[in-house]
Structure 1
């Protein structure tokens, strides 16, 4: 069975010219593979333990951090933003709650409005990406803008809301967001190879993100994304470390059982069969949850990771290319459907 699965995985990565790593775990099976280059110039291959940027796949870490503060009694999910963060937002509704920030229903303006801007790199024409070394650096991009909806009115995916949540963690703990996550989430989960790294000082065994141009040329994403990841995205993980995150979460090693249930509860319906918890997407069929998953896309980054509660499988697919992770995830799910029939 293991050899058959490994062969099928190789076919999937070959079919999609995949550049990245894959880790698939359940209670009795561990499969890992990698393909493509971590450094195209030096032709250094990706390895199963290569670190990859995961963009918005990091939002789950922020949600877990908030849940930890709730467990300590420092906050509740219904705490109002104005009661837990000393940052002026002159046009924000005073009724905004942490729950609404976590579920993308706060109605605050986003610093990257996908309905208006198609190119993420447009942001850096006015605010150079190399200045965004802290969460505070993002505030001028949205702090003084008007609300786009009333709190709780509608789901609208929002990166700025997670920047605000990260600022709450910083104020409540006295730690930088990145240090908090590394100490209180990565270490307890055994994610020893993961962290937040500056793009101009990446550690050994970290993949560069690549952007392929229409003319056949390519470039790294060094000047295309913020120089340092934060509470809305940008952590670096290995595929196996991300699986460890799922295992630690569902074993209640990061927050207690009740708060884990809150994290993994569908709090808002996004579309048929898809909802959103706290930092996590939830797919259901006929009233049963079939998948908890996170994903992230940036220039030079694509990432999907999921936990399937019925089978117990956990999968992580980080890629140092702007697409590929979704196609591999889709083929993985189809592969297991065939094997189960």
Structure 2
């Protein structure tokens, strides 16, 4: 089959749904406030007591209901392992128990901590300076930079690069051909992004930044990345069941991964094979050794992997949107901040294809660390972290909150549409309420917050929403619990289309997409609302909305080869959003019919995780499009072009050509979807 290399089902991951200076890290809440809450009498005490906690947790009904096949949980304190225990099965069919010493798991993005550790080792040796332009360390690979400012190593470590692309598509990052070799250098060349935003200005979780860290380690050390980490981190710590390459020995011990239907996922290799940003394989007991070494200022059993001052530097806050809201240390992130209970916590989470999830958290002041890994996707790491913190470091009684009392007019500066910098289809719309509150609405639902600081708000549960100003004093960015790994950008209002007046029936939809940058004006400043839209134009608008990078794979559709946006059409095919009119043809220039657009949009929304919907329809619709049209009708993703019968049935005019204004209504209304709807 010509489409055999196209992945059968793409999963679009909703993000939890991930001031560049170390000069004054103590201003951040995670460090500054920890002193007032830190209590050495808190925390886990004995192995027996921690095991009882873990056993109790895994017996909880809500945990059992998650259907996790197997997990390993590790807790360390004061240089000792208090617990390393497996629960359930590494392989259900073979009844192989999850074993902290024997079972190898993919730990996904927790790998980034080890990559950053390797970078900092070379910093100690004087081979790398975190403040220098990374171009000095890239050899013959050139970084494309559309700004006048260099990307430094610190920008890589704090995910503030300004890159246009931070995530190669999943289909270009894994391979089921276990014999194929994907060298790191060649992959870096293929996916080298372009710097489009001033480095250091914004935080956006960046897989490519961590990949470049690994390449720099390889280039500056003269050793393959995986070999460098083996010799300089794993071997000194006795991590004998860890690696960035899937050797036969590690594969033999690898836990089976499970999908949402509890079916085993096929084994795959990463591309590149020794992926610095997510390719590490390890066991729970090996992770215990690393956590103990890091908490012990870089040393374990007489073997040192980092200097004491380097560990302290890696543990500091180096990036945050607000003095009380940190985002990044070096290699570590500040995830699940709502559960810190006033403690200083640094950590790293991960999720890999095939059902592997992980989360490591450290409390440096308490000399405590923990690690959870399991073989099915789900929020188990969040549940166990909250349970752990509530059990051992309960939140102190809060002091009475002193809220500011801004007027609605004073809050209007925060109003507008905000777009996630990493997951561009995640939009937040903010409105000022008359009672001095802000109302946020996005795909996770609604959140109402009150002001506690000029640029900081909280909801009734204490979850923070922070803002950052532009140099001119206007609001530029926001950060909230919607996506803990990226800021969101406030979008400016563009100039209006000359042929779309305020009273135009599609003005809201057209101008809404215009503000999102999904549609633009013609040279004469018009939009052409009533003009038909081609199949290619519609697909490109959808891909622009999703923010998925254009594919670099060989083009399947022969009639798109000469199109500038052919890579985006290829992306839509790889994600199963579209189908060809034949094996090799797409007919990109043919006007799109409304039922075709409905079918494509329904596949996109299904990929996002939108709830099924079936509205009543009338009129003539082809059988193959009927379920899609019912979905669109049920979601009410249409403009005034449709007619609705007295009983609520929608005449979608399925076989009519779709106009530009109708497409704008479809995409704009879909952009306002919520997981609760």
Bin for the TM-score computed over the shorter chain: 0.7 to 0.9
Could you say what the CA RMSD is over the residues aligned between the two structures, in angstroms? 3.0
Q: Which residue of 1 aligns with 2:125?
A: 72
Match of 1:43 in 2: 95
Distance 1:281 1:136, change over 3 A: same
Counterpart mapping for 1:125-164 below 5 A: 128=175, 130=177, 131=180, 133-139=182-188, 141-143=190-192, 145-164=193-212
2:289 matched to which residue of 1? 244
Task: Find the counterpart in structure 1 of residue 467 from structure 2.
Answer: none
SS state at 1:219 partner: coil
Matches within 5 A, 1:155-174: 155-174=203-222
SS of equivalent to 1:211: coil
- The residue that corresponds to 1:117 in the other structure is none
2:57 is the counterpart of 1:12:
yes
Verify: 1:320 aligned to 2:389, yes or no: no
List gaps (5 residues or longer) in structure 2.
1-45, 299-303, 398-677
Per-residue CA deviation, residues 253-291 of structure 1 (Å, 9 max, x unaligned), is 2221222222111100157543311101247899x8621
Counterpart of 1:301 in structure 2 is: 356
Q: Secondary structure at the match of 1:172?
A: helix
Relative to structure 1, the CA distance from residue 207 to residue 225 in structure 2 (aligned partners, 3 Å threshold; closer, same or farther) is: same
Q: Provide closer, same or farther for how the CA distance between residues 176 and 289 of structure 1 changes in structure 2, counting only shifts above 3 A.
A: farther
Equivalent-residue separation in structure 2 for 1:90 and 1:78 (angstroms): 16
SS of the aligned residue for 1:310 comes to helix
SS of corresponding position for 1:234: coil
Matching residue of 1:337: 393
Deviation at residue 137 of structure 1 after TM alignment: 4.2
Q: Quote the offset at 1:156 in angstroms.
A: 0.8
Residue 105 of structure 1 deviates from its aligned partner by 0.6
Name which structure has the greater RCO, CA cutoff 8 Å, separation 6+.
Answer: 1
Q: 1:217 to 1:205 in 2, by over 3 A?
A: closer
- Determine the C-alpha separation between the residues in 2 that align with 1:79 and 1:90: 14
Deviation for aligned residue 1:64: 1.0
For the structure 1 residues 230 and 111, does the alpha-carbon distance in structure 2 shift closer, same or farther, using more than 3 Å as the test? same
Q: 1:132, 1:138 within 8 Å by CA — same for their partners in 2?
A: no
Deviation at 1:134, TM superposition (A): 2.8
Q: Assess if the C-alpha contact under 8 Å between 2:74 and 2:371 holds in 1.
A: yes
Task: State the alpha-carbon separation in 1 of the partners of residues 134 and 269 from structure 2.
Answer: 31
TM-score normalized with structure 2 length: 0.45
Contact 1:304 1:325 in 2 (8 A): yes
- Return the offset for 1:32: 2.1
Aligned residues: 328
User: Which residue matches 2:239?
Assistant: 191
Is 1:258 paired with 2:306?
no
Which secondary structure does the structure 2 equivalent of 1:180 belong to? helix
Higher mean C-alpha deviation, range 222-231 or range 174-183: 222-231
Picking from 123, 136, 151, the partner of 1:83 is 136
Aligned to 1:116: none
Higher radius of gyration, 1 or 2: 2
Change (3 A) 1:83 1:147: same
Question: Mean Cα displacement is larger for which, 22-31 or 173-182?
Answer: 22-31
| TM-score for the superposition, normalised by structure 1 | 0.85
